[in-house]
A and B are shown apart, each in its own frame.
Chain A
């Protein structure tokens, strides 16, 4: 732990800085899990992350966390309540299994961004790699750039918004999650199909884009959802299993 500043008379919460060049990820996470609650600290700066894994995982408290540099695997994993911003790129599984709160990545995200997330908002301002939104369970994900192959694979609930292009097999084996794509779709996966946008889609997407900070018109997006033809065993869909 490096430094701490008290709150001021304007109501600003106290802040704390962790410099990972001098402090371990373990100490940071232990603080977030144990000492943060009741401390009055509302903002945490993490310096020199240098691609470390598991930064700010399992946070269970409302707090703003700014990670100033590159994160490794699982930044913000299983997050609940916290608003985390990574000022750089991240490795695999950013915000995996997130329950609530938000994670924003100003750069690019590697594979499985937002995997199995239950809630909250994940924003990747750059591109996201393969399997973005895999097995998502209610999370909202907005990607400013492109996503790789097999994104939203077996996605169960929530929304994946892709402002750029999507790779192969988008939405393969989708359940009830919905995908919105502004750019080109290289190919759709098994049981995924393009559908007409409804008014409800446009309204929900406008709100989501606004929260994510992207100026796009919802009318530019295509909707992809499940055809639900694989929900039950079907001998005529032989190779799809």
Chain B
């Protein structure tokens, strides 16, 4: 028998008579709704690890103009392409000499386990590059394993001492970090175990929040004197880097040079961290792409390119990123998050005692999953990298880790030289701005290279 339509007018055969509306608000999308729910429930801002997750103009928005008729390329498999890199030639008697222009970024013991620091040092030594300490001082493991070790002088001065200063191959005065320019370091209580606490002269288990300003100087004129003191203590032997988080990069680089830096390190907003407020990570600083151009302009205006070296960091992931940073004017790059991922960060399994073990349950315990995890701040890293837990840290074998890091950096270096040869360069440091064009107007404006297929650089040249 034929049935009449119901009161709402749906057909009797329709299995879902009620329409569920799914029009998402652009302003109050699911991410923002979750943020407000979380804030209302806890009354504290979110703290997390790693770097910005939002979409930003990046090196992906640039492409190389390789050789053809106007330029000729070098033979990719036969002709040499040099990668040797020297940092700190301005004042230091012993500049840092590296085989490749790719270095390991500063990451602390505390945020990382001692086994990870050892893996970094071993890989760097084999690759002929440098590692950098972090907020918390120098560990014996890292000094022993890393041939070239940069010692950070941070606002907290945790673990900072003259003996380690004299054992360092360079000093990095950290003024800011790309993930949180203007903010201090942070290490939550779960990671402040007895060894970390002792190195930092802090009570065990406290939520450690570092200072954002140095305790004994303020402003660029003081920094001149501070750098001079560090040089005096080390008898002018080793280079002094100054690291800034990318904000007012043009002026900051000029002031760092004025202050006497041998090397300026510019860390863009894609840079990672072990823990900080999400609002910092996503809303403070400028993208690395924009920062590198500003830094190079500052050096060029001061006639300091080649005298003061520029190291760029913040979201460097691939050999292409390295090549583009160098073409824009960097002398070297530093890689942080990429190294953690190479070690197994966000992998679904870890390798221990000769076998692979699934880690998905441990990710689930943290309320996340492989590919999405940013829970470095918890100290419960499922793959044993960003932890101080005696059991979890065993999930990372320093020897295996070192091999993976070496493979990753070697791959990036091969990609770098491949691109350099394609552009006709026998030395990666000969890559130049003219080798690049941009795919977006934003990238063209930030990097000051032409939009592809045009001669247009927004703000510089007309159509």
Binding site for B on A (CB under 8 A): 25-26, 29-30, 33-34, 53-54, 57-58, 60, 72-74, 77-78, 80, 92-93, 96-97, 99, 111-112, 115-116, 118, 131, 134-135, 137-138, 153-154, 156-157, 175-176, 231-233, 235-236, 238, 241
8 Å CB interface, B149-191 against A? 156-157, 160-162, 165-166, 188-189
CA distance A74 to B162 in the complex (A): 14
In the complex, whether B211 has a CB less than 8 A from a CB of chain A is yes
Instruction: Report A95 CB to chain B, min CB distance, Å.
Output: 10
- Quick one: closest B residue to A131, CB to CB? B215
Complex interface: stretch among B202-210, B396-404, B425-433: B202-210
Choose among B206, B216, B232 the residue that contacts A112 (Cβ–Cβ < 8 A). Answer: B216
Given known contacts A25-B232, A58-B233, A77-B233, is B189 in contact with A232 (CB within 8 Å)?
Answer: yes
The answer on a CB contact under 8 Å between A54 and B44 is no
8 Å CB interface, B93-119 against A? none
Choose among B157, B206, B236 the residue that contacts A116 (Cβ–Cβ < 8 A). Answer: B157
B235 proximity list for chain A (CB < 8 A) = 29-30, 33-34
The answer on a CB contact under 8 Å between B217 and A233 is no
- Quick one: closest A residue to B206, CB to CB? A231
Instruction: Report A29 CB to chain B, min CB distance, Å.
Output: 5
* Residue among B189, B200, B203, B232 having the largest count of chain A Cβ atoms under 10 Å: B232
B165 proximity list for chain A (CB < 8 A) = 58, 78
The answer on a CB contact under 8 Å between A116 and B160 is yes
The answer on a CB contact under 8 Å between B161 and A97 is yes
In the complex, whether B42 has a CB less than 8 A from a CB of chain A is yes
Given contacts A60-B162, A233-B188, 19 further A-B contacts (CB under 8 A): A33-B235, A54-B232, A57-B232, A58-B234, A73-B229, A74-B229, A92-B217, A92-B225, A97-B162, A116-B157, A134-B215, A137-B157, A138-B201, A175-B202, A231-B206, A231-B207, A232-B189, A233-B44, A235-B42
> What total of chain B residues lie within 8 Å of the partner, measured CB to CB?
33
CA distance A29 to B232 in the complex (A): 7
The answer on a CB contact under 8 Å between A54 and B229 is yes
The answer on a CB contact under 8 Å between B206 and A97 is no
Majority SS at the chain A contact face? loop
A54 proximity list for chain B (CB < 8 A) = 225, 228-229, 232
> What 9 A-B pairs come out closest when comparing CB atoms?
A58-B233, A235-B43, A93-B216, A115-B215, A116-B157, A115-B216, A78-B162, A137-B201, A231-B206
A93 proximity list for chain B (CB < 8 A) = 216-217
CA distance A77 to B217 in the complex (A): 13
- Quick one: closest A residue to B233, CB to CB? A58
The answer on a CB contact under 8 Å between A233 and B207 is yes
CA distance A34 to B166 in the complex (A): 13
In the complex, whether B34 has a CB less than 8 A from a CB of chain A is no
B232 proximity list for chain A (CB < 8 A) = 25-26, 29, 54, 57-58
Instruction: Report B136 CB to chain A, min CB distance, Å.
Output: 13
In the complex, whether B300 has a CB less than 8 A from a CB of chain A is no
The answer on a CB contact under 8 Å between A156 and B189 is no
For this complex, 20 residue pairs linking A to B, each with C-beta atoms less than 8 Å apart, are A26-B232, A29-B235, A33-B235, A54-B228, A57-B232, A57-B233, A58-B166, A58-B233, A58-B234, A73-B225, A92-B217, A92-B225, A97-B160, A131-B215, A134-B216, A135-B211, A138-B201, A156-B200, A176-B203, A231-B207
In the complex, whether B222 has a CB less than 8 A from a CB of chain A is yes
A115 proximity list for chain B (CB < 8 A) = 157, 215-216
The answer on a CB contact under 8 Å between A92 and B229 is no
B201 proximity list for chain A (CB < 8 A) = 118, 137-138, 156-157
The answer on a CB contact under 8 Å between A96 and B216 is yes
